[in-house]
Amino acid sequence: MGNKETIEQTEKYVTKTYGRYPVAFVKGAGARLTDADGEEYLDFLAGIAVCNLGHSHPRIVEAIKQQADNLIHTSNLFHIGPQAELAELLVDNSFADRVFFCNSGAEANEAAIKLVRKFFSDKGQERFQIISMEQSFHGRTMAAMAATGQDKVHKGFKPLLEKFVYVPFGSVDAVREAIGETTAAVLIEPIQGEGGVNMPPVEYMMELRALCDEKGVLLIFDEVQTGAGRTGKLFAYEHYGIEPDVMTLAKGLAGGVPIGAMLATEEVAATFGPGSHGSTFGGNFLSSAAGVAAVRTILEDGVLENCVKVGEYLTGKLNELKADYDFITEVRGKGLIMGMAMTIKGADIVSECLEKGLIINCAAETVLRFLPPLIITEADVDEMIGILRPVLDEYKSPETS
């Protein structure tokens, strides 16, 4: 089968939930993908920050094969070795004391929202409101969608789950004003991904922590996109010199195998007793074994160091583009989550790059987003720029810029 057959089959049988590019990949290795027609691509998207170790990394493949040979699934009615091991690994390398496992980012946020509500309910306090940020993205399930500060995500699904309020990203005053008697938590991405790679100032994050402490409000970090080494540290919060009370992970946590996790301090996590929350698949043998392999590889194989080094190189190259094209207004990000803000829309640029064998992405309509595997080299960056530059040249003329 070529691209065409898969495209036709998809269009006939799959819900039209996604605007898909006309490509069906069949093979991957490192930062390279091959489609069903045999065309090769350089991947600067990594399955949207999922394949942080590149495609089919040998350590992930080996872990999955070995685990599949032994046992794939039992149930959370029993103890699960790899789940316990992954939990220990995450606790040892974060602020957290306990981990709840699920299967996606939205589910991890659902767990966090339920956890903070129950935490206050157990104390006999009527605190259930959650303050989240404008332009945030927390997922597509009912609670995660309600937490998401984007009208376009809510459209057609009202009435939303109650008691969510959105404030401008980066304003402590706005959070202070929004906090009331019933506020349970502030939910924030340490770097907004879908919102256009928006960076909060370090002071803002520190003030947010102090404000939450002052008001007795919990702080939840959604690190679904920024966790698992993406920013050059295992978790993005490490850049800000503060710690959240609750953190959610998913995307890059298991090298491409579906997984989600919600981490919390002992004090907060203790509210989840037997029967309070659960997931059939959450933390099963296969996903946990892949997670252990992914996290160990990120920590042990110089992946973070490479992310920082190549991230700086990429930043330099994107800033060169900014100097050369007046429609580029800002280059921002950390490690290998980078955004290039423009005054023009990015969708056509992304499509043209794809035709030329480069996978990039556009967030918030006008921000080109770069989320390559963390194992890419400077030569890969040069190759990427070599494809992107001639595409950008087409937008240089006054009538299109």
Ligand X SMILES: *Cc1c(COP(=O)(O)O)cnc(C)c1O
Shortest reach from residue 251's CB to ligand X, in Å: 6
Q: Which of 194, 264, 361, 366 binds ligand X (CB under 6 A)?
A: 194
- Of the ranges 72-80, 100-108, 319-327, 375-383, which one interacts with ligand X (CB under 6 A)? 100-108
The window from 135-143, 166-174, 321-329, 334-342 that contacts ligand X (CB under 6 A) reads: 135-143
Residue 104 found at the interface with ligand X (CB under 6 A): yes
Cβ–Cβ < 8 Å for 190, 202: no
Q: Using CA atoms, how far apart are residues 147 and 140, in angstroms rounded to an integer?
A: 10
Closest contact distance (angstroms) between CB of 116 and ligand X is 16
* Amino acid of residue 181: E
Establish if 110 lies at the interface with ligand X (CB under 6 A): no
Retrieve residue 208's tokens: 């947010």
Told to check if 231 binds ligand X by CB under 6 A, we report: no
- If the CB atoms of residues 157 and 324 are measured against ligand X, the closer one turns out to be 157
Residue keyed to tokens 């998207």: 45
Question: Alpha-carbon distance 301 to 296, whole Å?
Answer: 8
Q: Which is nearer to ligand X, 199 or 388 (CB)?
A: 199
CA distances from 142 to 116, 166, 187 (A): 16, 16, 16
- Do residues 140 and 106 make contact, with C-beta atoms less than 8 angstroms apart? yes
Per CB under 6 A, contacts with ligand X among 312-371 are none
**189 binding ligand X? (CB under 6 A):** yes
| Cα torsion angle, 223, 301, 89, 239, sign | negative
What's the closest the beta carbon of residue 257 comes to ligand X, in angstroms?
A: 12
Question: What SS3 state is found at 360?
Answer: coil
Which of these ranges, 72-80, 87-95, 104-112, 303-311, lies near ligand X under the rule CB under 6 A? 104-112
229's tokens:
């080494």
Q: Is 193 in the site for ligand X (CB under 6 A)?
A: yes
Please give the biggest Cα pair distance in the chain: 65
Residue 76 CB partners (closer than 8 Å, separation 6+): 278, 279, 280, 282, 283
Encoded tokens for 179 = 């906090």
> Could you say which of 94, 225, 287, 306 contacts ligand X (CB under 6 A)?
225
Q: How many residues bind ligand X (CB under 6 A)?
A: 15
The residue number with the shortest CB distance to ligand X is 105
Q: Which residues are catalytic?
A: 137, 222, 251
Out of 127, 138, 317, 369, the only residue in the binding site for ligand X (CB under 6 A) is 138
Residue type, 372: P
CB of 68 to ligand X, least distance (A): 22
User: Distance from CA of residue 92 to its chain's centroid?
Assistant: 21
**Contact with ligand X (CB under 6 A) among 43, 222, 245, 380:** 222
Q: How far is the CB of 120 from ligand X (least distance, A)?
A: 23
Nearest to 262 by CA among 73, 146, 142, 113: 113
CB of residue 74 vs ligand X: minimum separation in angstroms?
24
Instruction: Please give the residue ranges that form the binding site for ligand X (CB under 6 A).
Output: 104-106, 109, 137-139, 189, 193-194, 222, 224-225, 250-251
